[in-house]
A and B are shown apart, each in its own frame.
Chain A
Amino acid sequence: MKRLDLSKLGQYVIVIIVAVTLNFALPRLMPGNPLALIAGVDVGLLTAEERAQIIEDVGLNEPILNQYADYWVSIATGDLGQSYRSGRPIKDIIAERLPWTLLLAGGALIISSFFGIILGAISAWRRGGKADVPLLTGMIALQSLPSFWLGMLLISVFAVNLGLLPSFGAISPAANYEGWEYFKDVLEHAILPIVTLSVLSTPGVYLTMRYSMLEVLGEDFIRTARAKGASERRVLFGHVTRNAIAPVVTFLAIRFAFSFGGAVIIETVFSYPGLGRLVFEAVSGRDFPVMQASFLVFTAAVLIANLIADLLYPILDPRTRAA
């Protein structure tokens, strides 16, 4: 197997440095009192001593480079600070929220890759044909669909008008279901958000698959396969799909991380208690420490996804393996 590309790793390190530095610099560069943005307290309500005490606690009176170094130390030790709304450690809040977002993003990943890959393959195989043109135009149209709007419409139709599914939350409050009942409850709450997120993700998978297939179809070895008399089915599955899949998987890994970002909006519509909703709550409650910590978690998610994609690529496409 190819050893990990060092320049890629270097790039990830740069991304981490940029993200952490942005987090550090933003509240200090903004106009107004940085105390409110960093400690997340209402400065107007404090006496002068209390203010001095907090400045001391947060370390705002130290030289800026020391603050920067301290910031790195606290992040490296997993200390993300405290929420100003609830006073709880942000680490705990994120640990509570993360599984729900993983559920949504994971469900959407499975559904969108299923439809995206199959429809993309059909489209490319009969390019310009009866299925291809409406599929392609439909997918382009889906890319322009505002996800939050789709979510609102799904709630109006399926939750309110038809009464089939719940319209908010991740579990029924105060129901205390157990076992199978609990599983069913979680599933019912997750269906609409997952569908919304899947609709958002499918066009990207489809377009990547279609393009990747078209590239492979133009290659010499496909003509060779046909010339030696391989059946169409064998050409499609043995030659084309196998060679077209690597870029798609890379795309999926990265798409998964971006689903996290999309979750900010979708979880807000469905009042779903995941990481995305947490960002929205932090923004509307001006809970800056939580907002920043979430941004770091999103950055970590993107980097992990990219790393997985880099590791998977040479396995799926042996041609890119170094000798």
Chain B
Amino acid sequence: MTPPAIPANRPRRLLPRSLADRLGWFGAIIVGFLILMAVFAPRLAPYDPSERVARPFLPPSSEHLLGTNDVGQDLLSELIFGARVSLTVGIVAAVVAMLIGTTVGVIAGYYPKRLGSVLMRFVDVVLILPFLPLLIVLAAYLGRSLTNTIIVIGVLIWAAPARIIRSQVLSLRSREYVLASRSMGAKDRWVILRHILPRTGLLATGSFVRAISGAILLEAALSFLGLGDPIQKSWGSILFWAQSRGAFLTPAWKWWVLPPGLAIMAASLGFALIAFAVEERINPKL
């Protein structure tokens, strides 16, 4: 078997492996639970979240465990259905980011001379631009829809994964088996698909999961600023309405503000812990 793609001068681990693994499993349990909640939302939710099912601003009761919002929709149902929006946006935006990031990273790493250095210049520019303001400006221009949110987040967070993948490819391309393959006349396409991409897989997985964690937070922030999809409410949108109706100035903060925030944090943290465990396992010197 070929040795795993880890540079020789690996730094010490951040934590003993067992602890990192345990944190990773803990994250996986949280994520698994949230995904189940999103998949079975129609069965779990007591009401249709878009229907006005009771009087507005009701405190929690046995019929409405988390009360109702400003137009009389059931907050618990909104929370459960919100998982669908928040997780979908997070995951799909991360897929978009990884598609761009992997493509740029592999090309820049495999052709490091002219093409690669131009691409990395571009990556550096993207990394330096003020991230959140740019995100908001783009979202404001494109308009409020789920697809736009995904695109805006995806095209802004690919640069960090691109950089990580590039440095890996850079070290892979001078390995002996790659050189051997090329000296036997293998085309670039073949070398990249057969030798380079498979060995960036684990690294890309770490970046991917971390990107999901970040994208979930970004989606929440955008929706909180009123730039989310107006029809499909995410956890961030619930908080946007709680904010604009002043829920945090009343006792309603306990059932209207607290739960969606906890959900956002749980989702982002769950993916972050998985990413942490994966990265600890590879830990290449970047």
Contacts and interface: CB of A to CB of B under 8 A. Distances in A.
Given A140-B269, A146-B265, A265-B221, A303 B133 contact: no
B228 to A, nearest CB: 12
Contact of A26 (B137, B243, B276): B137
A291 B225 CA distance: 14
B157 interface: no
B23 A146 contact: no
Interface stretch (B92-100, B120-128, B167-175): B120-128
Contacts of A148: 220-221, 224, 239, 243
Contacts of A144: 213, 217, 265, 268-269, 272
Nearest to A27: B141
B15 A265 contact: no
Contacts of A265: 132, 221, 224-225
Interface stretch (B77-85, B107-115, B198-206, B253-261): B253-261
Name the prevailing secondary structure of the A interface residues. helix
Contacts of B264: 146, 149
Contact of A214 (B12, B121, B227, B260): B12
A152 B242 contact: yes
Interface string B130-158: 11111011101110000000000000000
A265 B226 CA distance: 11
A152 B257 contact: yes
Interface residues of A, number: 61
A38 B11 CA distance: 52
Contacts of A115: none
Contacts of A160: 248-250, 253
A264 interface: yes
A153 B15 contact: no
B121 A133 contact: no
A140 B258 contact: no
A264 to B, nearest CB: 6
B272 to A, nearest CB: 5
Given A128-B16, A144-B269, A265-B225, A152 B130 contact: no
A147 to B, nearest CB: 8
A318 B68 CA distance: 61
A259 to B, nearest CB: 10
Contact of A306 (B128, B239, B265): B128
B273 interface: yes
B193 interface: no
Nearest to A154: B248
A121 interface: no
A43 interface: no
A98 B241 CA distance: 28
Contact of B261 (A140, A153, A264, A288): A153
A307 to B, nearest CB: 11
Given A133-B15, A144-B269, A153-B253, A260 B226 contact: no
A251 interface: no
Given A215-B11, A264-B225, A283-B225, A18 B249 contact: no
Contacts of A291: 136-137, 140
A148 B244 CA distance: 13
Contacts of A156: 248-249, 253, 257
Contacts of A264: 132-133, 136, 225
B8 interface: no
Nearest to B216: A144
> Which 4 A-B residue pairs are closest in the complex by CB-CB distance?
A149-B261, A261-B132, A298-B130, A144-B268
Interface of A: 11-12, 14-15, 18-19, 22, 26-27, 30, 37, 128, 133, 136-137, 140-141, 143-150, 152-153, 155-156, 160, 167, 210-211, 214-215, 218, 257-258, 260-262, 264-265, 268-269, 279-280, 283-284, 286, 288, 291-292, 294-295, 298-299, 301-303, 306
